[in-house]
Amino acid sequence: MSESLFDGKRRNQVWQKKYHVAVVGATGAVGTQMIELLEEVSSFEIGEVSFLSSARSAGQKKTFRGEEIEIKEAKPESFEGVDIALFSAGGSVSKELAKEAVERGAIVIDNTSAFRMDPTVPLVVPEVNEHALKGHNGIIANPNCSTIQMVAALEPIRKEFGLSRIIVSTYQAVSGSGVSAIKELNEQSQAILNGEEFKPKILPVKGDKKHYQIAFNALPQIDVFTENDYTYEEMKMINETRKIMEDDSIKVAATCVRIPVVTGHSESVYIEVEQEGISADAIKNSLKNAPGVILEDDPANQVYPQAATAVHKKEVFVGRIRSDLDDPKGFHMWIVSDNLLKGAAWNSIQIAESLVKLEII
């Protein structure tokens, strides 16, 4: 690829490194967003890109900074010369190929659940625990979408007032389940509006025993169930939050629910802070200048975050902040973000930017 194709900000240094970035899962809902975001990256120079996929999708083409790039089948040797490999093609692909990429010298930023709870793998939301990147062993895990937006919004509060408890109920969009789930929601919605029959095939969980209507419905199952009757999605929120915040003493509970929204996860979050005598205004103030967070909280003017207005934006939106009426340390709030951006692709790109900034790569 010729240099002239890139509009990245040039540092005036002849030794400026140019990075070879691979995207694994380039045709998926998240991979597509990763590619769009990489086009706009200006904090480091991209010298080459490799877009990788399953054998089935290989051969398709994606435009990148004006150039057509052919998508190739992801194989161990695909990672020769790659500096940063962004994985978002499902846990099994990551388990098979992430170590191959690392062996070939790449740092892997993995958007699947494959390595998140591995104690040797940093699980990073840059606004919360960027420092954890320094301890990496080749693989860095991108947290679950519903976890990322919650911890990004709660970290400023935790830092200022301490945080002892989180109870979250989610309102999650179908794009978290991929392109086929988006198609299912749209087709089912149309069938119901037409009064036609339809057969659920994807949601709540691709490949699970039963499938249910998602259009005009709410499904209290995301990912499969674990032995304790929580879903994996709920356990991800619980375990990942403690790992990212580096505090196993925080009580975390989650109920994860899929609703008929294409993109944009919403969360109803109850928290208890450690400090006494904190007001809702103090909580709001702690978020006003927080990195990556936008306060949208003006009930008198009906201003609060919404999935429909958060979509295509990189920030986490927080509103409906109010004191619990019984517990003086309790607060309620509503946290919304684009699950494909901050919840997935954007957080992965941010990790890449942090790796460069911290001179880890």
Return d(Cα 256, Cα 234) in angstroms, integer: 6
| Closest CB to a second copy among residues 56, 209 | 209
Q: Which of 34, 262, 271, 278 binds a second copy (CB under 8 A)?
A: 262
| Closest CB to a second copy among residues 20, 284 | 284
| Positions in 156-175 near a second copy (CB under 8 A) | 165, 167, 169, 171
Binding-site members for substrate are: 172, 258
Q: Which of 141, 252, 316, 351 binds a second copy (CB under 8 A)?
A: 252
* 158-187 burial code (b ≥16 CB/10 A, e <16): bebbebbbbbbebbbbbbbbbbebbebbee
Active site residue 145: yes
- At residue 344's C-alpha, the angle toward residues 214 and 19, to 5°, is 150
Active site residue 256: no
Stretch of residues binding a second copy (CB under 8 A), selected from 20-28, 71-79, 82-90, 315-323: 315-323
User: Judged by CB under 8 A, does residue 197 bind a second copy?
Assistant: no
**Residue 133 phi/psi, 5° resolution?**
-60, -30
User: Judged by CB under 8 A, does residue 322 bind a second copy?
Assistant: yes
Query: Among residues 90, 57, 84, 89, which one has the least CA distance to residue 71?
Result: 57
Q: Considering the complex, what minimum distance in angstroms separates the CB of residue 168 from a second copy?
A: 9
Query: Among residues 117, 171, 169, 110, which one has the least CA distance to residue 339?
Result: 171
> Which member of 20, 136, 145, 256 is catalytic?
145
Stretch of residues binding a second copy (CB under 8 A), selected from 20-28, 101-109, 119-127, 298-306: 298-306
Name residue, tokens 């990322």.
148
User: Judged by CB under 8 A, does residue 180 bind a second copy?
Assistant: no
Q: Which of 255, 282, 353, 356 binds a second copy (CB under 8 A)?
A: 255
User: Judged by CB under 8 A, does residue 285 bind a second copy?
Assistant: no
| Closest CB to a second copy among residues 157, 238 | 238
Cis omega before residue 204 (within 30°)? yes
| Positions in 204-233 near a second copy (CB under 8 A) | 204, 208-210, 212-213, 216-221, 225, 228-230
Q: Which long-range contacts (CB under 8 A, 24 or more apart) does 238-241 make?
A: 239/116, 239/117, 240/116, 240/117, 240/123, 240/143, 240/144, 240/147, 240/151, 241/147, 241/150, 241/151, 241/166
Return d(Cα 360, Cα 338) in angstroms, integer: 28
Query: Among residues 80, 78, 59, which one has the least CA distance to residue 70?
Result: 59
Q: Considering the complex, what minimum distance in angstroms separates the CB of residue 256 from a second copy?
A: 9
Quick one: CA torsion of 226, 229, 231, 236, rounded to 10 degrees? -80
Taking every pair of C-alpha atoms in the chain, what is the biggest distance, in angstroms?
A: 65
| Closest CB to a second copy among residues 13, 302 | 302
| Closest CB to a second copy among residues 27, 239 | 239
DSSP bridge pairs for 185: none
Active-site residues, by number, are: 145, 265
Residues that bind a second copy (CB under 8 A): 165, 167, 169, 171, 186, 189-190, 193, 204, 208-210, 212-213, 216-221, 225, 228-230, 238, 251-253, 255, 257, 259-262, 264, 266, 268, 270, 280, 299-302, 304-308, 319-327, 330, 332, 334
